[in-house]
Chains A and B, each alone.
Chain A
Amino acid sequence: MGWTRPHIPIRRAALPFVTLLVVLAPLAGFSAESTPPESDRQPVEVTPPDEALTFLTRRAVLWAGRSQVIPVRMKNDAPADDELTFPVSAADPGLVEILRPATVLAGEKLGFLRVRALRPGRTQLRVRGAELELDIRNDPVVEPGPRIIGPVRGAAVWGKFAVGVEMLDAPPRNELIEESEKEQVAQPARVQLRLPNGRQLEPIAATQSDAGPVRRFTFEVSADELPAGPLSLVAVVARQNVTNDSGLLEIESEPVAITVVRPTGPGTLLAGSCADAVEGTPKLLQALNAKRVALVSREVGPFHSPEDEATELLGDALKPLTPSRPSRFGAKRPKTGPMAGSQSGRVFLAISADPAWSLPFVAPAAARYQLFLRARGDEAMGVLPSVALYLNESEQPAALGRLVQRDWHRMPLGAPFSMEAGPQVLSVQFKNDFSGGKEDRNLFLDRYELLRLPDGTENPEHKADDVVVGDKHSAPPLRVPSVPARLSVALLYPRDGQNIFGADAVVARITDSPEHPAAWADVFLDDQSLGLRVEKPAPGQLVVFPLPARGLTGSSHHLRVCVADDTGRVQDSSARFVNFLALPPAVPGPYERAVHLLNRFAYGPEPRELAAVLTMGEENWLNARLNAGFIESAAEQETLARAIAKYPRLDDSGQTIQRALFQAINSDNPVRSRFTAFMENHFSTWMSKTQPAPKWHEHIAFVRLGLAPFADLLEASARSSAMLVYLDQEKSYARKLNENYAREIMELHTLGVHGGYSQTDVTTLAGLLTGWTLASEARLPLPTEEKMQCNGGNDGGMEKDFRYDSFLNDGKARRVFGIAFDQAPPAQRYDRVRLALEFLAAHPATAGHICRKIANHYVGTSAPDALVEDLTRVYLENGGDLRCVLRALAAHPLFWNAPDRLATPQDYALRLARLLRSVGPVPDGKNVKPEDIERFLKLSGMDLFDRVTPDGYPEQDAAYADSNALLQRWRFAQKLGALLNNLVPTAWRQSPPQSEDATLPANASDVPQRLIDLAALRLTGRLLPTASNKETRDFLGDTPTAEEMQQAIVFVSLLPESNLR
């Protein structure tokens, strides 16, 4: 199946000669310094004293292609008396475009400037005497690229049809350039459509909505000129004004796979005028009979088709019937009328969902059918009509689609649908009627064509999977030729001469040959087996042995790992000499540090991650985990696909939670997984209000972004329909403000409650945000959702998508918390919101608030101010890149001194589930079930996606210390019972001990204690402290039964130490 191929937009360096590159001439170079630019706010002209301003940091990171706000501060730290504007210049104007001069508003100490980086490199930014070192890097994430909105995946096409592409195209406004000049400089984005055989099509129409930043492109594709069969469409845009190291940046859309069919044979096609079909019963039949001849010829297009392709129809085949519209499609009388550009003369007018357009007919055979419409629509809120096709009285749409342009176009409505033979009524309903203010969305239908698909196209979706156009999006898996490998084992950790106190681990790498795979590996201390033999170690993987050092003292003990293959051949690693300390060392050793690092950055000392930290080193391990992309990771993609296959319902809350939990349990990057959970909790939304599908989309957006500059995370949240529903932004209008989102974005998401803003700022920002909203449109499934099921639920297949509607905004000039927004014509209003988001992300109060939250999460709510201040500086110096912040955190002495934390219920469950998945071997499905975790979290009051309030689940340990939460943990762990046994080798749990068994520790005199130590090491990474150890020993007794030993393992998982992280 084709799911492993990540359908993702990628950036590629195009050949240099295809360049569409336009670099804006910098108008604010060094020479312009003496003439301050004019601002349409016309600030009071003051000549500030030299060096009146200073930057907050000495250096800053910018991202190529992105506009960013940079804060400046009054050097004397006194509020400005009047509004001050300072010209800004870049040492290398080819690298940075200055969009807005540094402006300090009256009464403020902080001011802001806005720039846009053009290419990677290093340069300096200057304001008066102050200088900022700029490090411009490649944009870490892809902006929203082009998106094919019609045809939808799986559609069957013939004749000439329209392909619609949408993309956000809103370059940041340069306040230093007059609008008239700007039009000459800035070019709109160019989009092309890629077809097989390298054919590239240019759009026949490109429109920019007055309402918002969305640009639409229509392409005309003639299916008849393409070979019949699967076809993949890809839209490509060349990014304006931005280059990477190797040239122009291109962004591709997700490919949309469709099928070209050839209508042949009698009775396969029914076509006609939509107006005729509804204009009364007898009249229609008369008209149909009269036009019998006309109907025989197939009519297509706005892009009409050659006459000789006419297809025979009627007869006993597809045949219209007496119309009778199903009652649920409305009682109103259908409206028809003449309209320019229509081919039928009269068209069907849908000004609301009622009435739907209906077509009764007799279907000749049970088969799959595809409906085409020739349609046009009026736009409102930047959104075109969406239409749904229903069969008879069914309440679930058989097909759904969006119109792709305002003018007449011929489009397949959704994908093919199945229909039985016999009388049928097909209804097409206008799904997203809207009118308000000056806007009114309407739908007009000219002609319909209904094609019975040839038998060979039963399942075009599946065939389409095999189509790849142009470059493959992911390289095929690297095949390593099977070279006979010799059996060997290398001991990688500990190092020679290492000091060990309490506990440690031994890590080895095993090499074997496919013919004679390794049968077991074992670790020996002073030539005595520790009884930790691993059966059938996975080739190429690291093998980890826990090393309890209870009662061991003295220097120069030697360790070695031994491996045997199926022929009985045995190989030893070289020996390592280690020293066991009697007292804890002054500074923790690498093992103790690894456990702490994994407790805080991941989900505890699970073997795979423990081995990685110990062998790669802390810094390399963390960098590898921080920098690993989600989209590029085949393992993560596979996990996601398995999660979707197991929990396919997009409209089910329980499955959405279970799907996300499955991902978190099985992700091979727990650092990313924890960070994503933390960020989603920061931008918390509540699924009961958002509904499952938008919540899942938001979740996936955060998962894909992972560790990113904070501005990207903020924008992902701000664009998510979950957030805009949850905090009522979709219900905020210029004359009826809803301040909910404006308040929380400042209080919770960015500046923090003590960030210094006022109620006036909240109201003003709410006013600025109006128009940042959602509109209802036909659902276009994400590529990851290809196999997901959604019966439409209450939304009937519609979804709320992010839109910007400048008509919902008044465009008035506003001042929000130290930054001024000019009065803006509709076309510039979207950019004002972008500016506001950039401003919020760059504000030093945000840096402080986010770094405080990060410290609270990774260190604890007792995190000292000094740590937060250091992190804040790193945030400001690195363009808010949270990878840098986490790296700085892991390098900070105060991180390493952090006291123990209470594991939240989510931590507790995920730590256990991830651990149990990695010890074993535990077959898939035998692990802790996401369903069990969900139930446990629900009973503990910390269900995923179930935080009602927008502040997210609290970080304070005290919030998770209540009787109910504790009881639920104990019950949860006890239910795992048998699974927990896998923490300890089977032989250890037998009673009486089978002393002949080679897998028992050689020194098996104190099996109960060794069992406790091993369970504790697996669960917590450490030996139990005296009190807990004593209770466990007493519970176990000296000659425990097998059952008591199993209970003791469970008991260890209930202890206070297992509730820490």
Chain B
Amino acid sequence: MDITRRFFLKSTAAVAAYTALTPHRVLAEAGLTLADIKKVHRGKTLVVIFLRGGMDGLNCLVPYGDPAYAGLRKGIGVARPGQAGGAVDLDGFFGLHPRAAALAPWFKNGVAAGLHAVGYDRNTRSHFEEQDTWETGVAGNTISSDGWLNRHLLTSQGHGPIRAVSIGDNLPRILRGPAPAFAVRGITDLSLFVGKKEGAVDTPAQTKMAAALEHAYACCDPRVHAAAAAAHAQVSLEIPDAHSLLRQTANTTFEGIAELRNVVSQTYAPAAPYPEKNELAKRLQQVARLIKADIGLEVAEIDYGGWDTHQNQGNVTAANDGGNYGRLVGGLADALAAFAADLESRLDDVLVVTLSDFGRTAAENGNGGTDHGWANCMLALGGAVRAAGHAQPRPVLGRWPGLGPEQLHQKRDLLHTTDFRDVLGELVGQHLGNRQLQTLLPGHDFQRVGLI
């Protein structure tokens, strides 16, 4: 198959194909017309890492300076900087979990920042409902909403055929909705046919079949049904017929695959080494590859689960490397640091953020773990963070509500002082340049956070 022939897809063509697929009704329900759909900032990418299970933010960005912290977490608490297994100091009040030390240099040079005590007022402490809330961007009746990143795609124009990718088996809810988004296990998993081992190429028969298939789909036309066309004419104008849909979708698919294949066909040498045996790092490396290939990727999503640490969360001592939680937070930090280093100057256009279901209880429970709590911290990394310039004096943003008995929410959890929708709005509005925030995150009165 001739790949270079259509390596560059004119963005106008992509938009045409895309808008044909976009049900106008969806836009109409959002009170938008095609004229409202503006192009996003060129070349910017938002990478969302969803920490499924409820990450314990109090042991990630450790508020060792809070007088109540050590008492709440006698078993699993992170010691003060300077002590054995102690936190890596950031600003004299907060410190990083020692296993997350790989991020410390990025905090020091202002590329990474944390935002603590993020949440909202109607947290149910249910994984199901709170992942929904974070993914749909709608508090309350989240059951009837699409993902907010899909609404971003729907309400803006991109610069290439592949605007959004989830590296994983399934498209997560945050990307689900009417706008097209890819879920690929890996960008080398691109056979039209049976999933292959990495790097394997189609057999000659498959290549031949793919070419024939592409031609067949390009010619897909409705059967001639004069009577049918007349009878259904009044609505058929708005609703694309099945044949056109198949033709357009196949076109997008063949173009997209050619595009990704082109990326894959060029050997990729990361500018910095990625850690071994780290699934998140492996996936981030693929995202880096796509970003560097300049194919218009705006949104990448990666799930990183296992954070529901109800028991034996683990701690760091001279003899103990941090247990379960330490492994998770270490994996996260190592992968992020490698990703940042690999991107080099492209890091200026990239913003990575972590989301999670909810924070966890301030106090540890009877099983050496923590239970479902309230507010949490978010990590952000990228050129946009550095550009904001605040990181040097305050690497950890957000008003700190305190961990004292009277300061805790319902006497058990970290209170939220920043609404998560304000953060999400800033990511999409500032970084990607989508101004349709009221459609993205409906019913919210936005406050500036100043993360980027």
A-side interface residues toward B, CB under 8 Å? 688-689, 727, 740, 860-864, 893-894, 897-902, 938-939, 941, 948-951, 956-959, 961-967, 970-971, 974-975, 1025, 1027-1028, 1031-1032, 1034-1035, 1043-1044, 1047, 1050-1051, 1054-1056, 1059-1060
Residue with the greatest number of chain A CB neighbours at <10 A, chosen from B171, B241, B248, B249: B249
Is the CB of B13 closer than 8 A to any CB of chain A? no
- Are the C-beta atoms of B246 and A740 separated by less than 8 Å? no
Q: CA–CA, A1025 to B215, complex, Å?
A: 13
- What are 28 A-B pairs with beta-carbon distances under 8 A? A862-B232, A862-B239, A863-B232, A863-B235, A894-B232, A897-B232, A899-B222, A899-B232, A901-B242, A902-B246, A948-B173, A958-B21, A958-B240, A962-B180, A965-B249, A966-B250, A967-B192, A971-B195, A1027-B221, A1028-B219, A1031-B213, A1031-B215, A1031-B216, A1047-B205, A1056-B243, A1056-B247, A1059-B246, A1060-B243
Is the CB of B141 closer than 8 A to any CB of chain A? yes
Is the CB of B143 closer than 8 A to any CB of chain A? yes
Q: CA–CA, A1028 to B209, complex, Å?
A: 12
B-side interface residues toward A, CB under 8 Å? 21, 23, 128, 132, 141, 143-145, 169-171, 173, 176, 178, 180, 182-183, 191-195, 205, 208-209, 212-213, 215-217, 219-223, 225, 227-229, 231-232, 234-236, 239-243, 245-250, 252-253, 256
Q: CA–CA, A893 to B228, complex, Å?
A: 10
Specify which chain A residues have a CB less than 8 angstroms from the CB of B171 in the assembled complex. 941, 964
**Chain B interface helix/strand/loop/mixed:** helix
- Are the C-beta atoms of A963 and B216 separated by less than 8 Å? no
- Are the C-beta atoms of B245 and A958 separated by less than 8 Å? yes
Specify which chain A residues have a CB less than 8 angstroms from the CB of B215 in the assembled complex. 1027, 1031
- Are the C-beta atoms of A688 and B128 separated by less than 8 Å? yes
- Are the C-beta atoms of A897 and B216 separated by less than 8 Å? no
Q: CA–CA, A761 to B106, complex, Å?
A: 55
Nearest opposing residue in chain B for A962, CB measure: B180
Nearest opposing residue in chain A for B236, CB measure: A862
Specify which chain A residues have a CB less than 8 angstroms from the CB of B229 in the assembled complex. 899
B232 to chain A, nearest CB (A): 5
Residue with the greatest number of chain B CB neighbours at <10 A, chosen from A862, A951, A1028: A862
Contact pick for B253, options A893, A894, A898, A966, CB 8 Å: A966
**Chain A interface helix/strand/loop/mixed:** helix
Specify which chain A residues have a CB less than 8 angstroms from the CB of B236 in the assembled complex. 862, 899
Q: CA–CA, A1014 to B182, complex, Å?
A: 35
Contact pick for B213, options A740, A956, A965, A1054, CB 8 Å: A1054
B27 to chain A, nearest CB (A): 13
B423 to chain A, nearest CB (A): 23
Specify which chain A residues have a CB less than 8 angstroms from the CB of B128 in the assembled complex. 688-689
Q: CA–CA, A424 to B333, complex, Å?
A: 52
Nearest opposing residue in chain B for A959, CB measure: B178
Specify which chain B residues have a CB less than 8 angstroms from the CB of A975 in the assembled complex. 194
Q: CA–CA, A740 to B252, complex, Å?
A: 38
- Are the C-beta atoms of A1056 and B220 separated by less than 8 Å? yes
- Are the C-beta atoms of A1035 and B208 separated by less than 8 Å? yes
B132 to chain A, nearest CB (A): 8
Specify which chain B residues have a CB less than 8 angstroms from the CB of A740 in the assembled complex. 141, 143
Nearest opposing residue in chain A for B23, CB measure: A958
Known: A899-B242, A964-B183, A1056-B247. A864 touches B232 (CB 8 A): yes
Known: A900-B222, A939-B170, A1056-B220. A1035 touches B242 (CB 8 A): no
- Are the C-beta atoms of B144 and A1047 separated by less than 8 Å? no
B290 to chain A, nearest CB (A): 15
- Are the C-beta atoms of A897 and B225 separated by less than 8 Å? yes
- Are the C-beta atoms of B182 and A963 separated by less than 8 Å? yes
- Are the C-beta atoms of A963 and B240 separated by less than 8 Å? no
B312 to chain A, nearest CB (A): 19
Known: A740-B141, A974-B193, A1044-B205. A897 touches B246 (CB 8 A): no
Q: CA–CA, A965 to B235, complex, Å?
A: 25
Known: A899-B232, A1025-B221. A957 touches B240 (CB 8 A): yes
B248 to chain A, nearest CB (A): 7
B165 to chain A, nearest CB (A): 11
* 10 closest A-B pairs by CB: A1027-B219, A961-B245, A963-B253, A902-B242, A1056-B220, A1031-B216, A961-B249, A897-B228, A897-B231, A1035-B212
Specify which chain A residues have a CB less than 8 angstroms from the CB of B232 in the assembled complex. 860, 862-864, 894, 897-899
Residue with the greatest number of chain A CB neighbours at <10 A, chosen from B180, B192, B209, B229: B209
Nearest opposing residue in chain B for A1043, CB measure: B205
Q: CA–CA, A1056 to B240, complex, Å?
A: 15
Q: CA–CA, A943 to B256, complex, Å?
A: 25
Nearest opposing residue in chain A for B209, CB measure: A1051
- Are the C-beta atoms of B216 and A1055 separated by less than 8 Å? yes
Contact pick for A900, options B191, B239, B243, B253, CB 8 Å: B243
Contact pick for A962, options B194, B217, B219, B249, CB 8 Å: B249
Nearest opposing residue in chain B for A894, CB measure: B231
Specify which chain A residues have a CB less than 8 angstroms from the CB of B220 in the assembled complex. 1027-1028, 1056
Nearest opposing residue in chain B for A1044, CB measure: B205
Specify which chain B residues have a CB less than 8 angstroms from the CB of A963 in the assembled complex. 180, 182, 249, 252-253, 256
- Are the C-beta atoms of B253 and A899 separated by less than 8 Å? no
Q: CA–CA, A956 to B225, complex, Å?
A: 20
- Are the C-beta atoms of A957 and B141 separated by less than 8 Å? no
Known: A740-B143, A961-B245, A961-B249. A941 touches B170 (CB 8 A): yes
Contact pick for A864, options B208, B231, B253, CB 8 Å: B231
A693 to chain B, nearest CB (A): 17
- Are the C-beta atoms of A950 and B241 separated by less than 8 Å? no
Specify which chain A residues have a CB less than 8 angstroms from the CB of B213 in the assembled complex. 970, 1031, 1051, 1054-1055
Contact pick for A951, options B144, B217, B239, CB 8 Å: B144
B24 to chain A, nearest CB (A): 10
Q: CA–CA, A1028 to B194, complex, Å?
A: 22
Contact pick for B176, options A688, A860, A899, A941, CB 8 Å: A941
Specify which chain A residues have a CB less than 8 angstroms from the CB of B235 in the assembled complex. 861-864
- Are the C-beta atoms of B170 and A938 separated by less than 8 Å? yes
Contact pick for B23, options A901, A950, A956, A1028, CB 8 Å: A956
- Are the C-beta atoms of A1051 and B141 separated by less than 8 Å? no
- Are the C-beta atoms of B144 and A949 separated by less than 8 Å? yes
Specify which chain B residues have a CB less than 8 angstroms from the CB of A964 in the assembled complex. 171, 182-183
Known: A862-B232, A1028-B216. A949 touches B241 (CB 8 A): no
A507 to chain B, nearest CB (A): 25
Q: CA–CA, A185 to B183, complex, Å?
A: 66
Q: CA–CA, A384 to B400, complex, Å?
A: 50
Nearest opposing residue in chain B for A1048, CB measure: B209
Q: CA–CA, A898 to B248, complex, Å?
A: 21
Specify which chain A residues have a CB less than 8 angstroms from the CB of B223 in the assembled complex. 900, 1025
Nearest opposing residue in chain A for B256, CB measure: A963
- Are the C-beta atoms of A900 and B180 separated by less than 8 Å? no
Specify which chain B residues have a CB less than 8 angstroms from the CB of A1025 in the assembled complex. 221, 223
- Are the C-beta atoms of B212 and A861 separated by less than 8 Å? no
B53 to chain A, nearest CB (A): 15
Specify which chain B residues have a CB less than 8 angstroms from the CB of A974 in the assembled complex. 193-194
Specify which chain A residues have a CB less than 8 angstroms from the CB of B194 in the assembled complex. 971, 974-975
Q: CA–CA, A949 to B135, complex, Å?
A: 13
- Are the C-beta atoms of B242 and A957 separated by less than 8 Å? yes
Q: CA–CA, A860 to B221, complex, Å?
A: 18
Specify which chain B residues have a CB less than 8 angstroms from the CB of A966 in the assembled complex. 246, 249-250, 253
Contact pick for A970, options B23, B141, B193, B256, CB 8 Å: B193
B30 to chain A, nearest CB (A): 15
B424 to chain A, nearest CB (A): 19
Specify which chain A residues have a CB less than 8 angstroms from the CB of B191 in the assembled complex. 971
Nearest opposing residue in chain B for A1027, CB measure: B219
B1 to chain A, nearest CB (A): 14
Residue with the greatest number of chain B CB neighbours at <10 A, chosen from A740, A894, A967: A967
Contact pick for B242, options A897, A1031, A1050, A1060, CB 8 Å: A1060
Residue with the greatest number of chain B CB neighbours at <10 A, chosen from A893, A963, A1032: A963
Q: CA–CA, A1043 to B145, complex, Å?
A: 48
Contact pick for A1032, options B182, B212, B249, CB 8 Å: B212
